[in-house]
Chains A and B, each alone.
Chain A
Amino acid sequence: MATLELVGASKHYGTIAAVDSVDLRVEDNEFFCIFGPPSCGKTSILKLFLGLIEPDRGQVLIDGEDVTHKRPRDRDLGMVFQNLALFPHLTAGKNIAFPLEERRWPKAEIAPRVEQVAKTLHIAPLLRKLPAQLSGGERQRVAIARALVRNPKAYLMDEPIAALDARLRETTRVELKRLQRDLKHTLVYVTHDQEEAMSIADRIAIMRDGRIVQVGTPEAVYNRPATRFVAEMVGSPRINLLEGNLAAGRFEAAGLPLSLAFEGLPEGPATIAIRPEDLALHAPGAEPGLVDAEIYEVEPLGGHTVVDVAVGETLLRAHLSGQPDYRPGEAVGLRIAQQHCHLFDGKDGRVLAHAA
């Protein structure tokens, strides 16, 4: 149970700002994801909370208390690293018990507590095994159990499942979400995987170059991106971008016949963004307002199909339900509905208009 806060926090390495004037508040009981490309500063934020690095400016608050200059061990936070850092010579049980022994818990209390945590994570039968005898997913759970065991105020996790294979990542992230929901603990979770962030977080902070670009629910960052960068970072396949120009109340796309009305916006270069699932394909000329296009490539993925559509030199990617039967070279009519289009400023990328 804890709130975690950064107030105007900055951390520089030489002239490089790893964290640049960040204000951030993680609420009690929240599953909070920090998401961004490599070297955006997301891990540095975890380190600031943990006390592994100190900010050059600004404050770190836990439950409203200024802990900026407190030692890591006095902050009462649990941490899970990507490279799990289990002791190879200790059994799973001993690994989990380690934080308790280090804090000199009475022996009689350690075993039952380890048992209890192991049960929560479905690893009770594995306690006598060495890490080398466990699968990747099992080792993962032992590392999480070790972080949970002393019941810290909050948990911090740095890409804890990035090293697992795709299928195991999908199931483990659900287990983590269940666990957090059942334990009702604050969890700050760093990932570079947008699908992971979207699927498990209550709220997401999206970072770029040491700054937070947007904080919001998965729905907010997906449906109402604050900048073109956010729109590109969340969603797979990636959002479609069409460059063009705003003049006299209209957006005119470059290289394809698309003209949309946007009243009262400054003139100049701009970008339209539309999600792949918001593009619709019809027979050519089936209804008015369709853009003449050609199927370029079809990727059937079972439950859905990704279709690349060419309009002249421009390629757009559409996400269609089911297994539609399109062939490369086929002529289609593409619907780019204005209600689904975001509009971004061509120079600084900030949003000018959101989709309806």
Chain B
Amino acid sequence: MAEIRLEGLTKRFGKHVLAVNSLDLLIPDKEFVALLGPSGCGKTTTMNMIAGIEQPTGGKILFDGADVVRQAPEKRGVGFVFQNYAIFNHLSVYENLAFGPKVQGWKAAEVDRKVKEMAELMRLTDRLDWPSAKLSVNELQKLAIGRSAIVEPTIFLLDEPLSNLDAAFREFMRTELKRIQHQLKQTMVYVTHDQIEAMSLADRIAVMDLGNLQQYGTPAEIYNKPANTFVANFMGSPPMNLLDCRLFSEDGAMLLELGDAGRLTLKDPALLQAAQAAKRPEVILGVRPEAVSVVDHTDEEGLDMVVDLLEPIGPRTIIHLRQGSAEMLAVEDKRFSSSHAARVTALLPQAECHLFDAESGWVLGRSPESAVGREAA
């Protein structure tokens, strides 16, 4: 049982660097939470403070309600896996796994049973006698995870554990990690800059930028309802389309003007509500590329676009569209299919459109507090 609660957690380096700015975060027991953001966003500093490797300048870290800020790292019951896996090269796989339990003074029979159990879980059973130096990179990473997991920490911290692996291994290890987490049932905090890893692994994602929490929610919430343009642009491959446009009303209707690409009459209730919340006419329209449909002819209201180029990427094709200064992407779940006309209409389903304030980048129609995520408070 280990719930982690961060309250106003702050870390300054010197006078000018605010690495983590008053972070509030509730990580429920046995959940897998990803701290996601670009380099310098504060994710690793946050993890180091949870581990006790770094001292916060302000705020609290509560494990099951008890403040651990003054506790030494080894007293916190936290397991840590680093990017460089820190394996004892001169020891065998067995000895590496047995190291932690032995230090903790477990009985020999108990150590043996647990090592074999962990080797089974990590699929390293046939490697137990091997010297660690002979393992492949992905086996090393599994050993590193197994070595931390074996002493049954209540909280498991992983810092970019997959970033040294090549693409194919990474894909494989992603599934492995998820399977391991299901079986270990520990609270896991996972630092990554890779949005695909965060989406595919985590129960919840905390998106950070420049020391500030941008949004906290399930992968679906973060992807489908981004709190601001940073999150919208950081998640997804390709990212969400963000189009500069202008709101105006005509004959009692609300419309969006998108430069040379045309205009859209707002009909969706949520979108109308967002438009009414706008403080100025300049807004940013956000829509995921896979929500956009590209058609050659239509009577429906859409945007007139020119097909600039096509990127076939196997199961999907990315269509690059432009008109004057407006550029947008559409993704079709078809391979090499897209024999579109040079001039097309892009249809935007309004239920999947978002409006953001052009200056602050925050989503319109929701309060910043609710946009960041209800769990954050």
A→B interface (CB under 8 Å): 165-167, 170, 173-174, 177-178, 181, 193-195, 198-200, 218-219, 222-223, 234-238, 275-277, 297, 299-304, 306, 308, 319, 321-323, 328
Q: What CA separation (Å) do A275 and B336 show in the bound complex?
A: 14
Q: Which of B167, B175, B288 contacts A297 (CB 8 A)?
A: B175
Q: Which of B167, B289, B315 contacts A277 (CB 8 A)?
A: B315
- Count A/B pairs, Cβ under 8 Å: 100
Contact with A along B234-258 (1 / 0, CB 8 A): 0111110000000000000000000
Task: State the interface size on chain B (CB cutoff 8 A).
Answer: 41
Nearest A residue (CB) for B39:
A165
Cross-chain contact B290 with A303 (CB below 8 angstroms): yes
Nearest A residue (CB) for B233:
A167
B→A interface (CB under 8 Å): 38, 167-168, 171, 174-175, 178-179, 182, 193-194, 196, 199-201, 219-220, 223-224, 235-239, 288-290, 308-309, 311-316, 318, 320, 331, 333, 335-336
**Residues of B contacting A178 with CB < 8 Å?**
308-309
**Residues of B contacting A276 with CB < 8 Å?**
315
**Minimum distance in angstroms from A35 CB to a CB of chain B:** 13
Cross-chain contact A218 with B288 (CB below 8 angstroms): no
Q: What CA separation (Å) do A219 and B312 show in the bound complex?
A: 8
Nearest A residue (CB) for B331:
A303
Given A223-B336, A297-B179, are A198 and B220 also a contact pair (CB < 8 Å)?
no
Cross-chain contact A219 with B336 (CB below 8 angstroms): yes
**Residues of B contacting A193 with CB < 8 Å?**
167
Cross-chain contact A304 with B168 (CB below 8 angstroms): no
**Residues of A contacting B331 with CB < 8 Å?**
303
Cross-chain contact A167 with B312 (CB below 8 angstroms): no
Cross-chain contact B336 with A218 (CB below 8 angstroms): yes
**Residues of B contacting A304 with CB < 8 Å?**
290, 315-316, 333
Nearest A residue (CB) for B194:
A166
Q: What CA separation (Å) do A165 and B195 show in the bound complex?
A: 12
**Residues of B contacting A319 with CB < 8 Å?**
315
**Residues of A contacting B308 with CB < 8 Å?**
178
Given A166-B237, A195-B313, A222-B314, are A299 and B223 also a contact pair (CB < 8 Å)?
no
**Residues of A contacting B288 with CB < 8 Å?**
302-303
Cross-chain contact A301 with B199 (CB below 8 angstroms): yes
Given A167-B239, A174-B309, are A199 and B289 also a contact pair (CB < 8 Å)?
no
**Residues of A contacting B238 with CB < 8 Å?**
170
**Minimum distance in angstroms from B188 CB to a CB of chain A:** 16
Cross-chain contact B311 with A199 (CB below 8 angstroms): yes
Given A302-B288, A321-B333, are A236 and B171 also a contact pair (CB < 8 Å)?
yes
